[in-house]
Amino acid sequence: MDLRHYRSSILENLESPVSDEAIIDKKSHIFCWAIKVPDKFGNIIILDASGNHRSLEQYDSSIRVFPMLATKSYSDVTIHYCKTNVGRNTVDNPEKNTPMYKELAHIVSGRPKDERVVCFHLPDKEGVERPPHKLNNLLDPKDIGVVTYKSWGESKGINSLRDRTMGIHIGMVFRDSKELSTAIAAQKRMPLEKIKDKERHQVQVNENAEQVYQAMNRLECRKTDNGKALPTDFYLFYPDDKIISELKILMPDVVIKDYTPKYLNKEYSAVIIADKIYEWIKKNNPGKTSIKVIRETLGFTNVRRDTTIWLAVRRYLEQMLPEVGYILPKGARSITPVEDTIIS
């Protein structure tokens, strides 16, 4: 986090910090703060639609998180997912970011007639061409003006986009690893050196999922009709399938579709492969069937069984298949109907 964005005469003239904790940025600016609650308040209730699923809140033992069931279904909302890199190292690099911008221009040009698009992007950075300027240069002249640009920092607390049914994004905000580790350590009240990379990564994905969830809910799916979010399409580019698992929790019944890019380098997505296998089994009810046959039938033989991608596919299927009456035991080479495993 570069706190130059928060500089002000008030902060610069602080003589006595009101907190024992502070953030110091790369320019040695110090940002101190304090949250004071009157003693007469025994409890404070914070209503946050995604709060019951945020890892950092759950790490703090002093915060009681109550499960809040979603009040609407997202069955008419579609996330078009493409597994690819979208961090600042890619998006801010003029030698690497052109495919991303071309991909978004391709999506905008293929949108339904008269549809207007919201594009979320990384906050502006000195020396980097602004996303609106670069994308507009790649758009067909007739499409310039149909895209509304908002930075991720503007993706919360606004209602002006609630009539837009299509969203895309350029890049994703990834918090600095040291800052993230510090936040986890503070919430857990434990030494910083005990925070593991795996834990930090999981929190990063969790926060990115909340970031996407908040952005999507600025669009038309913010509104409901008979308990269902209104139809909305969002094109999601991200390097880790785990974000889909997180979004499915935040957005019940949301539809996930595989997006095949025209310009970007796409990686195999475990969550999409697992979903296709799940849907095939649900539709065909094939009985006990070997994984080899399923792979050959659906064309996934090019994904080697000893890769982390296929291992992730198996983990997804182990969780999903009981919903359609099947199980995939760990290490097994076949799916099996649940009733065949019941011992009378």
Question: Of 286, 306, 272, 327, which is closest to residue 294 (Cα–Cα)?
Answer: 286
Place of tokens 């434990």: 190
Q: What phi and psi, each to the nearest 5 degrees, are found at residue 9?
A: -65, -30
| Pairwise CA distance, residues 188 & 199, whole Å | 12
Task: Give the CA angle between residues 296, 265, 244 to the nearest 5°.
Answer: 70
Q: What is the pLDDT of residue 88?
A: 77
Pick from 238, 280, 234: nearest CA to 257: 234
Higher pLDDT, 3 or 72: 72
Q: Which stretch of DSSP H or E encloses residue 275?
A: helix 270-284
Buried residues in 29-68 as b, exposed as e (16+ CB within 10 A)? bebeeeeeeeeeeeeeeeeeebeebbbbbebeeeeeeeee
Q: How many CA atoms lie within 13 A of 267 on its CB side?
A: 16
pLDDT at 15: 43
Q: Which of 176-180, 218-222, 233-237 has the lowest mean pLDDT?
A: 176-180
Q: Averaging pLDDT over each range in 85-89, 162-166, 335-339, which range is the top one?
A: 162-166
Cα(first)–Cα(last) distance of the chain, in Å? 61
Residues 6+ apart with CB under 8 A from 216: 77, 167, 232, 234, 251
Mean pLDDT of the chain: 83
Q: pLDDT, tens digit, for every residue of 103-143?
A: 999 999 999 888 999 999 988 887 788 888 889 999 999 89
> What is the reported pLDDT for 2?
44
Could you read off the pLDDT of 281-316 as tens digits, one per residue?
Answer: 999 999 999 999 999 998 888 788 888 888 888 988
Instruction: State the sign of the Cα–Cα–Cα–Cα dihedral 138, 140, 143, 145.
Output: positive
CA separation, residue 113 to residues 83, 99, 109, 216 (Å): 27, 24, 9, 21
Q: pLDDT confidence of 34, banded at 50, 70, 90? A: low
Say if residues 171 and 86 touch (Cβ distance below 8 Å): yes
HSE-up of 210 (CA within 13 Å, CB side)? 19
